[in-house]
Amino acid sequence: MFPGFIQGALVAVIIILAQTTKRIHSEDTVDETHVLSLTKDTFDDAVKNNKHLLVKFVAPWCGHCKALGPAYAAAAKKLVDSGSDIKLASVDATIEQDLAQKYDVKGYPTIKFFSDGTTFEYTGGRAEDDIINWLKKKTGPAAAELKTVDDLNKLKEANEVVVIGAFQDTDGDVAASFLQVAKTVDGIPFGITSNKDVLKELEIKKDTIVLLKKASSNKIRGRLFFYFLEFQFDEGRNDLTSTIDEGSIREFIQANQLPTVVDFNAETAQKIFGGDIKVHVLLFASKKGSDYEKLRGEFQTAAKQYRGKTLFVSIDSDDEENERVLEFFGLKTTDVPAVRLITLKDEMSKFKPESSDITSAVLTTFVDAFFDGKLKPHLLTQELPEDWDKTPVKTLVGTNFHEVATNKKKTVLVTFIAPWCGHCKQLTPIYEQLGEKYKDNQDVVIAKMDATANELEDIKIQSFPTIKLFPKDSDEVIDYQGERTLEALSKFIDSNGQEAGKIPEETAEQTEEADEEADAGHEDL
């Protein structure tokens, strides 16, 4: 997995939770009547007695778990109401620690699927439809056979997006390629047909892959918003009629499953950051602004040229739940409208256009320059505080980092932190003691940097806190892997990085996951 993807996933986590936390606190208690609550005494029987069982391992304090709760419960109810033999269950892993250890639970929520004696990792999305579609695909045919027009209509009505293979012969090579893609694409239901009535309904005259999209409604903060077809999607249907093979089908779905311009919210965040397209152009603008429709029109015109290559995403700066997104890009509401480009390839990088004008021509020039390799990343930095070096723990920002950290006359320890990070807060008193210990040592500098507000081209931070040592008289940079104690950190410094410590792999993974999770439930995320 690329580091850029890891960072992108972390960004998505932060953003989704920032948007869902208020809803978690404001909504009624989730009705989990149809979700089995399992313990070590009931777990084995549940797996034995249910042909297909999806189990989430959760922690009561976990923000991700709380965000998942409503969709998981709704999926469980829908499956029960439909008479499905698929059941959903939940385990409190903080209580049932033996079960958590047995099933290798290292973060929350961990979701496992038990089917016919085999255990699988759940790899689907966390929306109600995503959960159900993933389960149906794993327990049934990759594509539903559409024998009648009624079958077609039911598939369309039940889903936001569907992909249909309409063939003269469902036993041919083209149909085989379609079914192979259907087996491996999660989150979207597939249908297949050669029925003459269905082909006529779809107006099909030759082998065609049809992608259908419909209007949807989403309940957000107690209000119901309807996204009509002309707003949510640019068209209700896309057809692939030539050169149909596995590669072209995948590209076709990737290019058309989302609208030309995607409106950012908690529901679309996962599809944006978790999709195959890793280059995103973001428009930050006020939907209440008098020029919004014009800006969006220019943005959409440019977006059409990069379908399947780049996602164009609109972020409403009026929505207070998007403040975290603006902050991540170093923007304030007074800075909008503004455009940024982010890539999750290899390493996550952000780019800023030279011109503040938002026209299709300026956007096209900007995106082309990125793909031509002509742009340099836009790096965030805070202003250097006047008292940055007046305390035992020095404060670094983007502009003074290299001057201090790579000064070969000193050994410099730098901790990269995030303001919302619970483990960073736990480390603070220990780190301040470390600063006191070395404040009179002319050869050692203890420093910290807020890595969410200051970015470096040559150092990418993927988890918090990250601790690095820049040894005296060396170009080496040594990552600290040990315990976060005064004694262990002191040994790391005194040994010039030779005693970097090593946390057992299992503990390290739990710590990294916990770093996300411990902060997830806090209102100030």
What confidence tens digit (pLDDT) does each residue in 156-194 have? 998 889 999 999 999 999 999 999 999 888 878 999 999
Give the Cβ contact number of residue 77 at 10 Å.
Answer: 17
Mean pLDDT within 222-228: 30
Q: Is pLDDT above 90 for 506?
A: no
Tokens found for residue 207? 């082998």
Instruction: Show the tokens assigned to 151.
Output: 């079958």
Q: In whole angstroms, give the CA distance from residue 173 to residue 191.
A: 16
Supply the pLDDT for residue 327: 85
Q: Give 348's pLDDT tier (boundaries 50, 70, 90).
A: confident
Per-residue pLDDT reduced to its tens digit, 259-311:
889 999 877 877 788 778 899 999 999 999 999 999 999 999 999 999 889 99
Quote the tokens at residue 483. Answer: 């315990």
Token pair recorded at residue 153: 């209509």
Q: What is the pLDDT of residues 96-111, one digit of tens each?
A: 999 999 999 988 999 9
Is residue 424 part of the annotated active site? The answer reads yes
Q: Has 299 been annotated as catalytic?
A: no
CA dihedral 128, 129, 134, 135 (to 10 degrees): 70
Backbone angles phi, psi at 73, to 5 degrees: -65, -40
Task: Look at residue 160 in the predicted model and tell me its pLDDT.
Answer: 86
The answer as to CATH 3.20.20.140 being correct for domain 36-139 is no
Other Cβ atoms within 10 Å of 142 Cβ, number: 18
Tokens of 122: 């759940």
Please indicate whether residue 121 or residue 217 has the higher confidence score (pLDDT).
121
Nearest to 108 by CA among 59, 67, 72: 59
Check 421, 514, 518, 525 and give the catalytic one.
421
pLDDT of residue 324: 81
Q: Are 485 and 30 in contact (CB under 8 A)?
A: no
Dihedral sign (CA 435, 438, 442, 443) = negative
Strand partners for 446:
393, 413
CA distance 501 to 1: 25
The two three-digit tokens of residue 490, written as one number = 């002191």
Q: What is the pLDDT of residue 37?
A: 96
Active site residue 172: no
Q: In this predicted structure, what is the pLDDT of residue 214?
A: 80
- The rounded distance, in Å, linking the Cα atoms of 432 and 395 is 12
Higher-pLDDT residue of 390 and 220 is: 390
pLDDT number for residue 215? 59
Confidence (pTM): 0.67
Residue 466 is among the residues annotated as catalytic for this protein: no
> What is the model's pLDDT at position 234?
61
d(CA 462, CA 448): 16
Which pLDDT value is given to residue 5?
A: 41
Catalytic pick from 424, 456, 489, 520? 424
- What is the CATH architecture of 141-217+227-257? 3-Layer(aba) Sandwich (3.40)
* Residue range 259-378, CATH number: 3.40.30.10
Residue 9 identity (one-letter amino acid): A
User: What is the Cα–Cα distance from 339 to 462, expressed in whole angstroms?
Assistant: 24
Given this model, what pLDDT does residue 78 score?
95
- Number of residues assigned to the chain: 525
Give the CA diameter of the chain: 85
Place of tokens 């779809």: 202
Mean pLDDT, residues 457-476 taken together: 92
Task: Kindly report, residue by residue over 356-404, the tens digit of the pLDDT.
Answer: 999 999 999 999 999 999 999 999 899 999 999 999 999 999 999 999 9
Short-list 73, 267, 248, 255, CA closest to 178? 248
- Percent of the chain past pLDDT 90, that is, above it, reads 65
Q: What distance in Å separates the CA atoms of residue 7 and residue 18, rounded to the nearest whole number?
A: 16
**Coil/strand/helix, residue 169:** coil
Sign of CA dihedral 227, 232, 234, 236: negative
Q: 334 pLDDT band (50/70/90 cuts)?
A: very high
Express each pLDDT in 407-444 by its tens digit: 999 999 999 999 888 899 999 999 999 999 999 999 99
Residue 233 identity (one-letter amino acid): F
- Which amino acid belongs to residue 421? C
pLDDT of residue 228: 31
Check 11, 24, 38, 65 and give the catalytic one: 65
Confidence of residue 514 (pLDDT cuts 50, 70, 90): very low
- The candidate with the shortest Cα–Cα distance to 508, out of 8, 107, 59, 1, is 107
**Helix 292-303 and helix 360-371: axis angle, to 10°?**
40
Within 8 A by CB and 6+ apart from 176, the residues are none
- The SS3 assignment for 417 reads strand
Q: Which two tokens stand for residue 334?
A: 């007074």
More reliable by pLDDT, 29 or 372: 372
Domain with CATH 3.40.30.10 in the chain: 36-139, 141-217+227-257, 259-378, 394-503
**Least reliable range by pLDDT among 219-233, 348-362, 467-481:** 219-233
Q: How far apart are CA 372 and CA 366, in angstroms?
A: 10
| CB of 440 closer than 8 Å to CB of 411 | no
Instruction: Identify which has the larger pLDDT, 239 or 215.
Output: 239
Active-site residue among 13, 24, 55, 62?
A: 62
Q: Are 310 and 279 in contact (CB under 8 A)?
A: yes
The CATH T-level fold of domain 394-503 is Glutaredoxin (3.40.30)
